[in-house]
Amino acid sequence: MMKKNRKKGLLYIISAVILLGVIIWVFLPSPVEVDLQRAQKGPLMVTVDEEGETRAKDRFIVASPVAGRLTRIRLKEGDPVGFNQSIAVIHPLPLGRRESTEIRARLQAAEALHRETEVLIEQTRINVEKSRRERQRMEQLQKNGLATQQEMEFSRDAEKLRNEELRAVQMKAQAAAFEVKAIQAGLLALEEVKGEPQTIAVRSPVSGRVLKVLEKNEQVVAPGTPLLVLGNPSQLEVVIDLLTTEAVKVKPGHTVLLDNWGGNQPLEARVRLVEPWGFTKVSALGVEEKRVNVIADFVDPPASLGDGFRVEARIVIWKGEEVLKIPASALFRIGQNWAVFVNQEGRARRRVVEVGRQGTFEAEIVKGLKEGEEVFLHPSNQIKDGLRIVKRK
């Protein structure tokens, strides 16, 4: 009889435990579905992203040298022009004392600009020679195993950029010299006018194409009125205006990746210049921002791009190859520290981490995570330490 009672009591206990387990299982919160991704090693790029615009490298605005009646300009956008070709005709107005003074002042300014470009040519030639010697030194170091391939390529790119700068300055010097001659010719023609109507031919300072006709119709123009924009659309550069706080991170030689230009693959460029002056620009939200232009040269520009085309630029300011990284969307703040939620045997565990470099979509983890550990993507407010979780399929 006692054995039967013991068996009954044991049966009741087992039933109660099972019932209690069922109740606990029913009333426990269900595991939360989350998106997980493993921390892994791989390449990481830190970029500064902004929209940019293509621009002909050597753009020249041709202006009227004198006041007069401009005849209709027959050239159209895209038309080729040769050096010293007549591109517009002006019938000058009688020259007064004020106009004569203005033209002579413009002549002095043009002569000063020409002298400045001549000095820049000499300075740029010195920089070209320095970059050539640096490239030769790197070649020798690489042969002896004391320099990396990346350092070698950087020195070659630097020499190429200095040569491009020299070519650009030489073109500007040529245009400045031509501007001096054009103003001198216009002044001479005006001084020779004695009641007889004469014409002055405005000539092209370079060989290239017409990028834009600014004054198409016949009209009276003042001295210095812009008439046409000339350039070579096959020799392009990229202009990217950045916030000054971002521009200080960019250096000449940095790689620029250009997306959403119309092709399937990103284009590559190199930063040539971070302009030393800033300007104020009003954002779409009406906020005044201090910005600065960054100029980059194409490594291999496609023929389909022209002057004034929009691109999306990513300037690579740092690059690592074997970096422990996670998606930036996994990070959140706890006071002054960064933290993540880690999957530990089906439960969420909050962990403070030390973050290194941060890219647009990924971040370097210096301390706090190991390769292969799973972190939560976009952790919501309902995620708590110790919460049961299940990976979303």
Residue 27: predicted pLDDT: 54
Where along the chain do the CATH 2.40.50.100 domains lie? 60-231
Encode the chain (393 residues) as per-residue pLDDT tens digits.
555 556 666 666 776 667 666 565 555 567 778 889 999 999 999 999 999 999 888 788 888 887 788 999 999 988 999 888 888 988 887 665 666 677 777 777 777 887 888 888 888 888 888 888 888 888 888 888 777 777 777 787 778 777 877 877 877 777 777 777 777 666 665 555 544 556 788 888 888 889 889 988 888 888 888 999 988 877 889 999 999 999 999 998 899 999 988 888 889 999 988 988 889 988 878 888 999 999 998 887 777 888 889 999 999 999 888 899 999 999 999 888 999 999 988 888 999 999 999 888 899 999 999 999 999 998 888 888 888 888 887
Residue 40: predicted pLDDT: 93
Show the tokens assigned to 239.
Answer: 């202009």
Show the tokens assigned to 149.
Answer: 């391939």
DSSP 169-226: HHHHHHHHHHHHHHHHHHHHHHHH-SSS---EEEE-SSSEEEEEES--S-EEE-TT-E
Residue 347 to residue 36: CA distance in whole angstroms: 12
* Contact between 291 and 281 (Cβ < 8 Å): yes
Where along the chain do the CATH 2.40.420.20 domains lie? 32-42+321-391
Residue 321: predicted pLDDT: 86
- Fold for 60-231, please state it: OB fold (Dihydrolipoamide Acetyltransferase, E2P) (2.40.50)
Whole-model pTM: value is 0.64
Residue 284: predicted pLDDT: 78
Residue 117: predicted pLDDT: 83
The set of residues, in sequence order, having a beta carbon less than 8 Å from that of 261 and lying 6+ positions away, is 267, 305, 309, 310, 311, 312
> Residue 158's closest CA among 192, 182, 134?
134
Residue 145: predicted pLDDT: 78
Where along the chain do the CATH 2.40.30.170 domains lie? 47-54+234-319
Residue 391: predicted pLDDT: 83
- Fold for 47-54+234-319, please state it: Elongation Factor Tu (Ef-tu); domain 3 (2.40.30)
Residue 9: predicted pLDDT: 62
- Burial tier of 312 (Cβ tally within 10 Å: 0-12, 13-18, 19+): middle
| CATH architecture of structural domain 32-42+321-391 | Beta Barrel (2.40)
Residue 171: predicted pLDDT: 74
Size (the chain), residues: 393
390 alpha carbon, distance to own chain's centre? 42
* Contact between 200 and 86 (Cβ < 8 Å): no
Residue 108 to residue 198: CA distance in whole angstroms: 24
